[in-house]
Every structure is written in C-alpha cells, then in structure tokens.
Amino acid sequence: MDILDYSAVDLSKAVKEKEISATEVVRAYSLRIKEVDKDINAYISLSEDVFKDAEVIDKKISAGESVGDMAGVPVAVKDNIMTRNLRSTCGSKILENFVPPYDATVVEKLKRNDALIIGKTNMDEFAVGGSNENSYFGFVRNPVDKERVPGGSSGGSAAAVTAKEALVALGSDTGGSIRQPASFCGIVGIKPTYGMVSRFGVASMANTLDQVGTFGRDVRDTFYTLRSISGFDERDLTSFDANISIDFTKSLEESYEESMEWIRGKKIAIPEEYFIEGLNPQINSLIMQVVDMYEEMGAIVESVNFPHLEYALPAYYAIAPSELSSNLARFDGIRYGNRVEEYEDIDEMFEKTRDDGFGEEVKRRIILGTMCTQGGFNKNFYGKALKARTLIVEDMTKIFDDYDLIISPTTPTTAFKIGERKADPMSMYLADVFTVPLNLAGNCGISIPCGEVDGLPLGFQLMAERFEDEKLYYAGMAYEGVMRNVL
C-alpha cells in the first residue's frame, strides 16, 4: 500500500513494527507537498527539522526504546498555534516574521508522542473568516474543486489533509472553523468541549469560544489525534481539571461493531429550527438519509425545538469581535508585531503599525468589537449578546437533558467559489449559522462527510453535551461502520 494511504492508527503501528520508517514517511509526504502545494497553498511554512525528528524516532525504535502513539504520523498545525523555532504568523502580515521561542502545549504533547510536525498551515488572518480568503499569504484552493474555497478559518489544515499533504491536522474552532472546512473538503473535523484541550500557546481570537481540535480522514484518526493533545494543563486557566478530562483509550479500542451496538436505543434530537426555509433540498435529503441510517441502527430520532437559535449568529457576531478587539490590542509594534519604520510620535506609530499590519476583515471586526463594548453601546450590544448566549446555553442544556446527541447539517451550502462572497461580509457570516451555537455553549461537535451535492462534499454535524465527546466517537464510528458495510 502507498504510504500516503495509511490511516494514522495503522501508520503509527507500521512504524513501531519497523515495516515503514519515519524517514520514509516524511520523504513521501514532502514529495507530495512539493507536487501539489504550489497549486493548493495549504502551507505557510514547512518544518526544516522534520527529517531530523524522523531520524530520532527511527533510532529510538531500532534501539528498542518505546515511542509514543503518534510515532511517525505527519501532522499539519494551524499557524495560530505556536511552534518553537518555526514561524507562526496567524496568517497575518503583522506577525510575518514571528518565530516563537516556545511550543504550545498541544505541540509539546504531539512531540512527546513522537508525531512529525510537518508544517504550519494557511488560515484566515487571526482565525477571522470562513473561506481562507483573509490570509496575508494568499487564498487556499479546495483540493476537491480548485475554483472553490476550502472553508475557513482552518482552511489550510483541511486542504492539507484532503490533498494528502498531511495525514491529520490541528485547527482551531471559534465559530465553526474546524467543522465548516471539514464539511467543505470532505473530511472529519472535531471541536472538542471547551476546556478539554489546552489553549496555552494558541493565539486567541475570542478566548471564551476558541478551542483547538483535529482533522482526519476518518473518525478514528480524528479522535486518535485528539487523544494525544487533550487533557488538563495548569498553564491554561480555562483548562479542566485532570479528574474530569476524558481518557479516550477505552473508546478508541471499540470497533465499528461495538459502536453500532452502542448507538441502539440512544436518543438523537433534530431541532426543527436548523432546517431553515430555503435550505437546499439536496442538503436536506442527505441529512435525512443519515437520520434514516441511525434509525435503522436502532437510535431514536425525534424532532425538537431550539427556540433561541435565531439569536446565536447575532450574539456570536457581537461577542467574538468584542473579545477579538481586546485580544488584538497587544499587536502594537511594541509588545508584539512588526513595527513600521516611519512615524512622528508614538500615537502615529501605533496607528501606522496596526493599519499596515492588519487586513481588511480583521479591521472590520476590531471596529465592530470596539463599538459593541464601548460606554453607551455596551449594554445594548455586548450585554444583550451575553444574555442571548445564556438563553442558548439553556436551550441546549434542556435538549441534552433528554437526548444524547443533536444532529444537523454542518453548513447551509457546499464550498462556494473563490471571490464569490468576498465583497459581502454578511453572506460570509451566514455560513456559520449551524456551527456557532456550540461554541457559545461550550459543547462538543463533529462534522462527518455524508455525501455530495453536485459533486461537492457535505458534512453532517453531531453535537453532544460538555465532556461527552466520546458519544461523538461512538456515533461517528457507527455511521462509518454502516458506510463501510461492516456488518
């Protein structure tokens, strides 16, 4: 079998058992990147150390030393996640030359597990956007149809996995930035429960919503990678205590059959409000096919109401920019960021540095966020949005009191054409309508491919209560089991 076709679970096993060397893996993936990335533009920077890292792993294995679970698995890392001695730009001009002196906790963990960090992926600047068109380093093409966007903001990570330029990848999801590109590119993407994966060393977009998660070609690889990065971290004040953190070890051993067994009798909710008027009937029917499949497996699917869903998008677009405007204040040319060379005084230095360093969409959000939190507006915008957020949390809690999972489409459309929505931010914001509620409530969700509409991939979304990420694993594996005709 071609090295590029191994799953992460099988590849790490093959590397451990000396069937394939880590060096051969890096060689195969580097070649692939050379071949296709000129076109796709999934990477901003490639690691120069990765061949050396592979050699270290190979040596350990031949010396009979033990290696980690991710041994020899090539991972692409979104460029807002800090990597020691490897440029981390956040997709922005203001950090064009920034080389961090430390690793984010998730990167540390990957390295400890002997993963191969192959490079840093392209993204919408500071994770702001849903198409990857807001990157200082140019747009990314969707490998499925190169005239279309891969989604965003983790567009580079999703495209890299789809184009086999990486086996798995890390992304971040603040309002859908893992699930939406996973849906557009035809792969699996998970946003874990808030607090389950450390944010230490991850540049904040909106810190009460941001969560690091993983991409893979299937459910098992996605969780396999998630297992190696999750867990309590004392350096992140929003990280959950070790006692609550989940150990996926047991569930990862469960096979398709066991997952199909698990799903029997589980209750799945379909919120009526997700099936908005004007939703493409083909998308609707694909999701209904998934629902039928779950019913055939013995799950109980019922329609429910999510009464405040309509407030999710406006609440998100007040809260996220408010937090963003505050988080980006540190990029002032003194504490962080490239400083412009010519200025009269310090005020002009700030102004010119930020004007030169930030792109259009980031500026738009900073203005929006500053307005929402300012004196007289605070109560009416930011304050109201927080109240709406509470209503959304309550709605979801109520649904999860009676149901194990919620199902919905991940996105209201398939991948759109490059340039098509760039001039119309509102139409871009609407792409997040199905994904933002989860971030507002801090729950977990996954997007799993469920077919094509006019030749373009589409995902369905499963959501679960906080710290019940394992349910997404079982339900996802059960679905894939049926698709692969396991029984």
Chain contacts with ligand GLN (rule: CB under 6 A): 127-130, 153, 173-177, 205, 320, 432
What strand order describes the sheet that includes 116-121? 43-46, 116-121, 74-78, 168-173, 211-216, 188-191, 444-453, 456-464, 405-409, 267-271, 300-304
Residue 367 beta carbon to ligand GLN: minimum distance, rounded to whole angstroms: 15
CB-count exposure of residue 326 (10 Å: 0-12, 13-18, 19+):
middle
Q: Which residue is nearest to ligand GLN (CB)?
A: 177
Answer yes or no: are the C-beta atoms of 434 and 410 closer than 8 Å.
yes
Enzyme catalytic residues: 78, 153, 177
Question: Quick one: how far is CA 61 from the chain centroid?
Answer: 32
Least distance to ligand GLN, CB of residue 445, Å: 12
Token digits of residue 170 = 């890390």
Cα 426–chain centre separation? 22
Backbone angles phi, psi at 136, to 5 degrees: -65, -20
Distance (Å, whole) CA 273 – CA 270: 9
Contact 133, 149 (CB under 8 A): yes
Q: What are phi and psi of 129, to 5 degrees?
A: 140, 175
Q: How far is the CB of 194 from ligand GLN (least distance, A)?
A: 13
Please identify, using beta-carbon distances, which residue of 174 and 183 lies nearer to ligand GLN.
Answer: 174
d(CA 146, CA 435): 24
Q: Which is nearer to ligand GLN, 45 or 131 (CB)?
A: 131
Minimal distance in Å, beta carbon 176 to ligand GLN? 5
Beta carbon nearer to ligand GLN, 206 or 268: 206
| Shortest reach from residue 166's CB to ligand GLN, in Å | 19
Nearest approach in angstroms of CB 351 to ligand GLN is: 25
Nearer to ligand GLN, 165 or 432 (CB): 432
In the complex, the smallest distance separating the C-beta of residue 350 from ligand GLN, rounded to whole angstroms, is 25
Number of Cβ within a 10 Å radius of residue 295: 12
For the bound state, the minimum distance from the C-beta of residue 403 to ligand GLN, rounded and expressed in Å, comes to: 25
